[in-house]
Amino acid sequence: MFRRMREDIDFIMKMDPAARSRWEVFLTYSGVHAGAFYRIAHKLYQRKWYTVARMISQFARLLTGIEIHPGAVIGKGLFIDHGTGVVIGETAIVGDYVVLYQGVTLGGTGKEKGKRHPTIGNHVLIATGAKVLGSLTVGDYAKIGAGSVVLKSVPPNSTVVGIPGRVVAIDGRRVDELNQVDLPDPVSEMVQMMQDRIEFLERNVALLEAAQTKLRH
């Protein structure tokens, strides 16, 4: 458990510009605390001490605002930034060096049985408020934009935004590891396309009306 905690802290030091020291991360980061409680609860869950494991996870939720089911499988180097409102479901699998921001849900849709939560690959970033729902897979190095709702599997090295989430590209350039600003907005792009089309049609209508006016005179 302590080795995994050190790996989590090392990854946070690498990824978070606000982290000044390992002691600061250890003492003040709720994601580290939630991860430590999870690892204890997960060991008990594997030994079929289900009730005790759930009690520990619920205590951790009260303490940190982060709910990780003890049945979830989580790799090394997890970074839950701020963390309030993060939920990780029972059958979720989270790979190595994953970044989750506040309000992220790795949940189910209520329809599946058995494996009903997502499988998250390595080096995945899931931004603030994103919801990844169902027994789907998010590939390695994928990025999910803030507020997105992902209902289908995501290929590796891709960026997903929107409701429902869809894969988008940003002029072929790589999105910075912690950049949640320069993500395309498919809704605004569609609105702009509609606005351009309306303006085009209005110009054509005006030309037709002007031509009709000349013919009448």
Q: What is the pLDDT of residue 1?
A: 61
Spatial separation of the C-alpha atoms in residues 97 and 44, rounded to whole Å: 24
Q: What is the pLDDT of residue 80?
A: 87
Q: What is the pLDDT of residue 175?
A: 47
Tell me the pTM. 0.69
Spatial separation of the C-alpha atoms in residues 53 and 32, rounded to whole Å: 18
Q: What is the CATH number of domain 2-183?
A: 2.160.10.10
Q: What is the pLDDT of residue 217?
A: 66
- Which DSSP letter does residue 99 get? E
Spatial separation of the C-alpha atoms in residues 69 and 41, rounded to whole Å: 8
Q: What is the pLDDT of residue 170?
A: 45
171 and 151 Cβ atoms separated by less than 8 Å: no
> Look-up: residue for tokens 């002007």?
210
Q: What is the pLDDT of residue 171?
A: 46
Q: What is the pLDDT of residue 9?
A: 77
Beta strands across the sheet bearing 166-168:
79-80, 99-100, 125-126, 143-144, 159-161, 166-168
Domain extents for the chain? 2-183, 185-217
Q: What is the pLDDT of residue 186?
A: 62
Spatial separation of the C-alpha atoms in residues 60 and 66, rounded to whole Å: 7
Residues of the chain whose pLDDT is less than 50? 169-171, 175, 178
Residue 179's contacts (CB-CB under 8 Å, 6 or more residues apart) are none
Spatial separation of the C-alpha atoms in residues 57 and 43, rounded to whole Å: 12
Q: What is the DSSP string of 75-88?
A: -SS-EESS-TT-EE
